[in-house]
Chains A and B, each alone.
Chain A
Amino acid sequence: MKKGLKLTDILVTIVISLVFGVIYKLWSPVYSAVKPIGLHVDQLLYGMWFLAGPLAFLIIRKPGVALLAETAASSGELLMGSEWGLSTLIYGLIQGLLAELILALFRYKKANVLVVSLAAIASCAGSIVFDYFQGYIDALVWWNLGLFFIARFVGSVLIAGVIAYGLAKALEKTGVTGLVRGSTEEDVRSLDD
């Protein structure tokens, strides 16, 4: 086994990510439209922008995939003419890096809903750090800032954790994940039988 990502892994990750790039782009007007409702209902939707990384990891389960997916999805969003402009690239990179970090902490061995939710939370924390520099969020009134945090974290766990896991499970049933994951120990054992 060669180390690192093969062309197949990269191509599959980037194709998935670009699909999410389109979704990310279409998600922005939805988010902006919900925003004036106030009370940070919009933040519940924010998790959508973290979905590509955990999902790509769940499908391919290799180191580096989450980072690549999130960065590629954000550049896809940029190429679609994102409202957030080049800052999507920075967001994507930070979110991808932090999700990757969590997955690395588990040595890429665990791929359950808890781990991807943690990765989603890490992405979320990363986005908030950049928001702090960009959006003066510290200047919101305290109760409002609290709501902001809660809504964004809950949204990310729901979308980039639970939904990502559900989607990956459904994809496993179609059998496509077998194409990219390569042979498992179980497959090798079945050859001996």
Chain B
Amino acid sequence: MEGIAKETWLHRVNPSIKLLLSLGVLISLLFIHNLNVMLLLTIVIIICFAFGTGVSRKIALLFFLPFFLLFCSSVLTMALYGKGSTFWWEWGIFRVSEESFYRGVHLGFRALTFGLIGLIFVCTTHPVRLFYSLMQQLRFPPKFAYSFMASIRLLPIIWDEFQTIRMAHQVRGFSPGKGWKGFKSKLSAYAVPLLAQSIRRAYRIAVAMEAKRFKGNQKRTYYYQLSIGKWDFLFLLFLLGITGIVWIGSEWIQLLPNQDVRLV
């Protein structure tokens, strides 16, 4: 995700702290059942995403598209098939009730906020810094962290390989056919060579790392030193601030009914 975003203050927050606090926010979101509060939170998080991550408008919109799709599908499923008593609309098996509709919208917002919090995290965190921080602040074993970093480096190679296989098939006029058989031959034509090559490459890298005396367990020095500082404190204050604003704001601003969306 590097290179597509300008640096903002969120980039300077320690990745481990950011991860833990974001997970905390995520879990606390599970306990919000009030539609109006959820809406306000969603608005605040969209604003954070738009102005806090430094991602350009075009890319932000591109990212947002699948999120919007997920939002719509979440709303629809619950609205059409959810339980309720005040029916608005019925057609065959579909019964949209007031309760199920609002519950669906709530779920849509929840899916949206979950996704956006993750996206804010990803857009403002460099993977290498994340793994260095995990090793230094959270005592994540270097064996795992370096494996992750090496594997991320391999992804573009795997993508290139995929293209090569595709072109090779095209040149040879490979047609997998249709239905279950076609699916099977497509699977073995792409997945098997890609996985086999990846395993071979990963094995060679591991051998090379071990040859360089990489053990991945003992104490080691780090090229990037990450610490916990003022930006982390600011991030915590920021989250508390948002919580406060939404809490107080929901008393004054009522855009959607202030009701519990759970079954009563």
- Residues on A facing B (Cβ under 8 Å): 6-8, 10-12, 14-19, 22, 28-29, 32-33, 35-36, 38, 42, 59, 68, 72, 75, 78-90, 133-136, 138-141, 144, 163, 166-167, 170-171, 174, 176-177, 179-180
Contact = CB atoms under 8 A, between A and B. Distances in A.
A180 B77 CA distance: 44
Interface residues of B, number: 74
A139 B151 CA distance: 41
Contacts of B261: 136
A81 B1 contact: yes
A37 B157 CA distance: 36
Given A18-B151, A81-B1, A35 B199 contact: no
B110 interface: yes
Interface of B: 1, 19, 22-23, 26, 30, 63, 66-67, 69-70, 72-74, 76-78, 80-83, 94-95, 100, 103, 107, 110-111, 113-119, 121-123, 127, 143-144, 147-148, 150-152, 154-155, 158, 184, 187-188, 191-196, 198-203, 205-207, 209-210, 214, 216, 261-263
A136 B206 contact: no
A79 B152 contact: yes
Contact of B192 (A17, A80, A82, A171): A171
A19 B22 contact: no
A135 B82 CA distance: 11
The main secondary structure of chain A at its interface with chain B is helix
Contact of B26 (A22, A81, A85, A177): A85
Contacts of A19: 155, 158, 194-195, 198
B117 A28 contact: no
B72 A36 contact: yes
A187 B111 CA distance: 51
A33 B76 CA distance: 12
B187 A83 contact: no
A140 B78 contact: yes
Contact of A33 (B69, B206, B216): B69
A15 B116 contact: no
A11 B118 contact: no
Contact of B122 (A8, A68, A79, A139): A79
B69 A7 contact: no
B67 A83 contact: yes
B107 A136 contact: yes
A177 B209 CA distance: 20
- The 5 A-B pairs of least Cβ separation, nearest first, read A85-B118, A35-B73, A15-B202, A8-B206, A144-B81
Contacts of A16: 195, 198-199, 202
Contact of B148 (A14, A82, A140): A14
A79 B107 CA distance: 23
B70 A28 contact: yes
Contacts of A89: 23
B114 A29 contact: no
Q: Which of B81, B111, B210 is most buried by chain A, counting CB atoms within 10 A of its CB?
A: B81
A58 to B, nearest CB: 11
A18 B154 contact: yes
Contact of B114 (A14, A86, A167, A179): A86
B147 A7 contact: yes
A22 B67 contact: no
